[in-house]
């Protein structure tokens, strides 16, 4: 059975190939700037590369969240107070992502916890929130 880390490896390879394809398509387009088909192909390849990179970042974050939860790391009490609750239980995914963000791991723009739907914002990362008081 494939694990999340196996999926990350596959996505890294797919992102690498998409990036290479985009580079080749841009070179072809620059070689013949009047050819509209080459420009469109370069735009399509660039878009595919961007999407592959975003998917990779999303899945890498999920893998890191799973790792953080599995390690039973110490919890920052401020983040515990700020953590959203679902049916009275702390959203562990959000809490793990907040800890990762504080540790310097980049959270993809627009990321939302699959449990509560909440995002990680700058006040959580930098500890500037008034909500915990």
Q: For residue 130, what are the contacts with CB-CB under 8 A and spacing of at least 6?
A: none
Helix (H, G, I), strand (E, B) or coil at 90: strand
My answer on whether 110 and 66 are in the same domain is: no
My answer on whether 1 and 55 are in the same domain is: yes
Q: What interhelical angle do 92-102 and 36-71 show, nearest 10?
A: 100
- 34 is in which domain, residue-wise? 1-72
Express each pLDDT in 43-92 by its tens digit: 999 999 999 999 999 999 999 999 999 998 889 999 999 999 999 999 99
The answer on pLDDT for 131 being more than 50 is no
Express each pLDDT in 89-112 by its tens digit: 999 999 999 999 998 888 888 899
- Note the pTM of the prediction, 2 decimals: 0.77
Yes or no: say if 125 and 111 are a contact pair by the CB < 8 Å rule: no
CATH of the domain at 44: 1.20.58
Express each pLDDT in 24-46 by its tens digit: 999 999 999 999 999 999 999 99
Last residue of a domain, one of 72, 96, 124: 72
How far apart CA 17 and CA 14 sit, in angstroms, is: 5
Express each pLDDT in 8-24 by its tens digit: 999 999 999 999 999 99
How many domains does the chain divide into? 2
């Amino acid at each position: 059975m494939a694990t999340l880390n196996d999926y990350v490896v596959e996505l890294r390879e797919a992102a690498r190939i998409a990036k290479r394809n985009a580079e080749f398509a841009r070179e072809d387009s620059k070689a013949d700037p009047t050819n509209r088909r080459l420009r469109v192909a370069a735009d399509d390849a660039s878009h595919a590369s961007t999407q592959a990179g975003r998917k990779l970042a999303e899945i890498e974050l999920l893998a890191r969240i799973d790792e953080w939860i599995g390690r039973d790391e110490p919890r920052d009490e401020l983040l515990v107070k700020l953590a959203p609750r679902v049916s009275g239980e702390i959203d562990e995914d959000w809490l793990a992502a907040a800890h990762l963000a504080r540790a310097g791991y980049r959270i993809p723009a627009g990321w939302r916890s699959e449990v509560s739907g909440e995002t990680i914002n700058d006040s959580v990362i930098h500890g500037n929130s008034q909500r915990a008081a």
